[in-house]
Structure 1
Amino acid sequence: MSASGKLASFRLPPLPTVGELIKLYNLRAEKQLSQNFLLDLRLTDKIVRQAGNLRDAHVCEVGPGPGGLTRSILNAGAGDLVVVEKDTRFIPGLKLLSEAAPGRLRIVHGDILTYRMDRGFPVNISKPWEEDPPNLHIIGNLPFSVSTPLIIKWMENIANRTGPFAYGRTRLTLTFQKERLTASTGSKQRSRLSIMAQYLCTVHNCFTIPGRAFVPKPEVDVGVVHFTPLVQPQIQQPFKLVERVVRNIFQFRRKYCHKGVEKLFPAACRIELTQEMMQKADVDPTLRPTELTLPQFRALVNAYAHLCAYEPSLLSYEYREELRMKHLESQGKTPMDTHMEKSTSTPPSPLQPC
């Protein structure tokens, strides 16, 4: 069979359109779940092309919804597609696709934040981290509500080579609020998320989808982003430590970067340790968080790691917990008075003297 004939054999038989399925099952995008449907199959085909050659590939699609992107993945020749969908309303339409592509589509009714993708595919597709990526792809039109926690979870998986990255340097092709992940130094869109993604991956902004292409129309345009994990991350420190420094710096994104650095340290030694960390990193404390380069973030993280090596209790310090305790004191209360309230929050960790 010719190459064109083989590709044609992957294509789905005639089916109701995505729009017809939405009407058939009375599906509406739920605003509280920040769902936005993409009905134009030319656009979903274009998204899938950014992932590369999917012929006989293993693919996990996140939040397939009514199945527009799912159709494009199957038509591209994916041999094993797992779709993870939390919303029960979409399952009947996905089952229709599964019947049209026998043996190629598996449906998981569950939450992608808890789904064990490291158990979803055969072990023999794994590739050593230093080699080319495995024949496994993650593709998804992500709801905005889940995109940030999901990307942070996946970046931690990359750092630890767990989850979908237990198979090797698994590639991702995802939709995001435009420029949130690819923003460069000095850009207004520069954020905690862009730093965390860029220190661990090669991140490529493929193309932009105008908001009007979605139903309902989101308030912003959407970028299609392709990630390939780096063999060596650009910051050689534990993920939690990197995330802690970056998160603190960006919590005051309009102020000088030293403001966020200060909140890494208890009040008793805040000024002294902030000055020591900034000097050790050789970073101008009057730069804004968006103006910091990746090498500067690396220097700051390394400087913080150096301080924590001498004073491990710094790692358990939380500025918000210190504020909460001060608020209780101002009201004449003790932590015991609010025991029931504390039982639902993270308990404070004791600090050794600075």
Structure 2
Amino acid sequence: MWSLELYGCINLSIVLQVPVMSLQNVARLPPLPTIQEIIRMFGLSARKKLSQNFLLDLNLTKKIVKSAGKIDGCFVIEVGPGPGGITRPILNSGAEKVLVVEKDKRFLPSLQLLSEASKNKLDVIHGDILNFNLESVIPAEHKVAWADNPPNVHIIGNLPFSVATPLIVQWLESISTQKNAWSCGRVPLTLTFQKEVAERIIAPPKSEYRCRLSAMCQYLCDVKLKFTIPGRAFVPPPKVDVGVVHFTPKVKPLISQPFQLVERVNRHLFHLPNKLCKQSLSTLFPPHREDLICDMFELSGIGQQVRPFQLTNKDIKRLCDAYARVTDKEPDLLDYDFRDRTEAHARRHRTQTVVSALEERLLKNS
């Protein structure tokens, strides 16, 4: 193990040349400073406002990589590598090429150190994954047809909690349209989430965790919670545990409707998860069009007394298909927003009118 004192007297670029040149025929990385030493060397710290937490336990980082499946000979994209805790076992697992996308420029020097030690098997990109098109960096030889087995490409990431959910929703839309990384085939993902979010992603019908995210993930992907990591394993330790979730895009989505329509139905369906479905979905339509919600349930064959968390994925498919048929006849309904200020004011006025009329009848009968 190289000592920290060595770095104080020798240029880092020279030190790196020694193991790289002497171990040209060895697949594994040459000896490097530990992640803890890297953090001290470069003065790194996890920023709370960015929801950053370092995972320093090598057994756990190796386990995350192993849970992704066969890495040997694959092109691997790592999102949010930080100081490189997961990057090392990816490189040591025989990946053909590794590309990391890191937004925080403080981590770039430590990642560049890994790149040089790996004989440039690692490419480092400074960028925001929320605005990055991965299609442009995946080699053409790895692209396969959608109906084929998943390509030799993996996406892995220990994501900041603040980014994880918005990112997977954005990627689900890309999966539905076979764009971004998924223009290259059914690229699998292995990502970390807060344990509660991970449980929501995989939640079956009737589960207390069943929600919109459950339905959106499961209609497009086969999802599996691989294992959980206790919060105390991270630095600094978050107040929650972490779940590692594996996603494999389905050859054929469970719902053959546009992503925006499916998201809209699920958003309305689960905004009142413990109410009756009829009450939850009524906000899809103007209050004076109760006939439409009745039509939607009649077309779907779903009972109006069921509650959203009880619905199976096939039930949600029937509701989405029924909503599509209703809006095909009246396309303007797709633009209706019950939260619109004008509509909200009209709704309050109608409620007040009903209440006033009821009070007046009660007074007359008293």
How high is the TM-score relative to the length of structure 1? 0.87
Structure 2 partner of 1:66: 83
Amino acid of the structure 1 residue aligned with 2:208: K
Matched, 1:293 2:312: yes
Does residue 84 of structure 1 match 2:84?
no
Residue 278 of structure 2 is matched in structure 1 by 258
Distance of 1:252 and 1:31 partners within structure 2: 32
Paired with 2:329 and 2:273, the residues of 1 have a C-alpha distance of 28
Superposition map of 1:166-181 within 5 A: 166-178=183-195, 179-181=199-201
Matched, 1:218 2:238: yes
1:222 is displaced (CA, Å) by 1.3
Matches within 5 A, 1:66-145: 66-145=83-162
Which of 320, 334, 343 aligns to 1:315? It is 334
| Residue from 223, 239, 242 that aligns with 2:259 | 239
- Mapping of 1:138-153 within 5 angstroms? 138-153=155-170
Distance in 2, matches of 1:149 and 1:43, equals 25
Secondary structure of 1:102 counterpart: coil
Matched, 1:208 2:228: yes
| Amino acid of the structure 2 residue aligned with 1:197 | C
RMSD: 1.9
- Which stretch has the larger CA shift, 252-261 or 308-317? 252-261
Deviation at 1:205, TM superposition (A): 1.2
The answer on 1:158 being equivalent to 2:158 is no
- d(CA) in 2 for partners of 1:11, 1:324: 63
Once the two structures are TM-superposed, the CA of residue 317 in structure 1 deviates from its matched residue by 1.2
Q: Indicate whether 1:228 and 2:248 are aligned.
A: yes
1:124 Cα deviation after fit? 2.0
2:268 to 248, 253, 256: 248
Partner of residue 197, structure 1: 217
Aligned match for 2:325, one of 306, 319, 322:
306
Q: Which deviates more, 170-179 or 132-141?
A: 170-179
Identity across aligned pairs (percent)?
A: 51
Supply the distance in 2 between the matched residues of 1:133 and 1:15 (Cα, whole angstroms): 33
Task: Tell me the distance in 2 between the aligned counterparts of 1:157 and 1:35.
Answer: 26
How far residue 118 of structure 1 moved from its aligned partner, in angstroms, is: 0.6
Q: Contact 2:54/2:236 (CA < 8 Å) preserved in 1?
A: yes
**Which amino acid is the alignment partner of residue 276 of structure 2?**
Y
- Residues 143 and 286 of structure 1: is their aligned pair in 2 closer, same or farther, counting only changes over 3 Å? farther
| Count of residues in correspondence between the two structures | 323
Partner SS, residue 130 of structure 2 = coil
For the residues of structure 1 that align with 2:249 and 2:181, how far apart are their CA atoms?
Answer: 11
TM-score when normalising by structure 2: 0.84
Structure 1 runs not aligned, ≥5 long: 1-5, 331-354
The residue that corresponds to 2:50 in the other structure is 33
1:113 deviates by 0.7
For each residue in 1:116-159, what CA deviation from the matched residue of structure 2 results, as whole angstroms up to 9, or x when unmatched? 10101112211111111110000001111111111111111111
Aligned-partner residue type, residue 279 of structure 2: K
Larger Rg: 2
**Structure number having the greater helix percentage:** 2
Give 1:325 deviation, angstroms: 6.1
- For 2:111, the aligned partner's letter is L
- Partners of 1:225 and 1:185 lie apart in 2 by 18
Where structure 2 has 5 or more consecutive residues not aligned to the other structure, the ranges are 1-22, 350-366
Cα separation, partners in 2 of 1:125 and 1:176, compared to 1, 3 Å: same
- 1:274 maps onto 2:293 in alignment: yes
Counterpart Cα distance in 2 of 1:322 and 1:277: 26
* Superposed CA offset, 1:168-204 (max 9, x none): 0101111122212111111111121121111111111
Structure 1 segment 340-351 matched on structure 2, within 5 A: none
1:284 is displaced (CA, Å) by: 2.5
1:322 to partner: Cα distance: 4.5
